[in-house]
Amino acid sequence: MIYIKTDEEIEKMRKACKVTGDVLKLIEEKIKVGMTTKELDKIAYDYIISCGAKPGFLGLYGFPGTCCISIDEQVVHGFPSDRVIEEGMIVSVDTGAIVDGWNGDAARSFYVGSISPEKKKLLDVTKECFFQGVATVMEGSTIGDIGHAVQTYAEANGFSVVREMVGHGIGRKLHEDPNVPNYGKRGVGARIKKGMTLAIEPMINMGGHEVIIDGWKCVTRDGKPSAHYENTIALTDNGVEILTL
């Protein structure tokens, strides 16, 4: 069941989404070669708590961190650990905050120091895939329109789209209906209506789209890098609002 939010409920989500977006800006400032992913996670935890919010991921389904921190071939769901961040790595950080029972969810892929041109293109295309998808969101469009736009842009640039992991509705729960795949056909799936709140999150691979999933583990089958870019959005009377930017 898709839960349509009132204007008042979307206003409550804005607070959680602001904390979520701001913590990712802080991580972008703080991330550096030589730090561990656990240290990066602690920065996020401390900031969210300082805002009077709760980390949305910590303990959810048993997840052990404030952020999913995934490096290179890790697509999503990487555990914070003693792994050291090295120059040239893609470091994808997915996190969320809860304020007054409402969730925000967003992800960014970062790099530190120098990075290969191929990896830089992957990051740029993954980010633009999100905006290509969002551009289709309007009253009466479909979930399939979003996925079609993401897939078309990714594949036109020589990359592939992960099938097994998808975006989702969001609100009082982090994961609500509907699922929002990053691939698909125009005109297919649930119709989009005012008051819908969605987490749109392209996960784009440099190589093939196949992944290996084993518990929390999710890595590209061919070992090539993946990138992730996500925001929580709402459709309001004024059109699409990207709540985590």
Domain range annotation of the chain: 7-242
Task: Give residue 171's pLDDT.
Answer: 98
Task: Give residue 23's pLDDT.
Answer: 98
Mean pLDDT (the chain) is: 98
The pLDDT tens digits for 123-136 are: 999 999 999 999 99
Task: Give residue 135's pLDDT.
Answer: 98
Mapped to the 3 state alphabet, what secondary structure does the chain carry? CECCCCHHHHHHHHHHHHHHHHHHHHHHHHCCCCCEHHHHHHHHHHHHHHCCCEECCCCHHHCCCCEEEEECCECCCCCCCCCECCCCCEEEEEEEEEECCEEEEEEEEEECCCCCHHHHHHHHHHHHHHHHHHCCCCCCCEHHHHHHHHHHHHHHCCCEECCCCCEEECCCCCCEEEEECCCCCCCCCCECCCCCEEEECCEEECCCCCEEEECCEEEECCCCCEEECEEEEEEECCEEEECCC
Q: What is the dihedral of CA 104, 105, 109, 112, to 10 degrees?
A: 40
Kindly state the tokens that stand for 158: 């020589």
Task: Give residue 37's pLDDT.
Answer: 98
Task: Give residue 62's pLDDT.
Answer: 96
Kindly state the tokens that stand for 101: 């029972």
Task: Give residue 55's pLDDT.
Answer: 98
Low-confidence ranges of the chain (pLDDT < 70): none
Task: Give residue 63's pLDDT.
Answer: 97
Task: Give residue 128's pLDDT.
Answer: 98
Task: Give residue 174's pLDDT.
Answer: 98
Task: Give residue 234's pLDDT.
Answer: 98
The radius of gyration of the chain from alpha carbons, rounded to an integer in Å, stands at: 17
Task: Give residue 165's pLDDT.
Answer: 96
Residues 154 and 174: their CA atoms lie apart, in Å, by 26
Homologous superfamily, domain 7-242: Creatinase/methionine aminopeptidase superfamily (3.90.230.10)
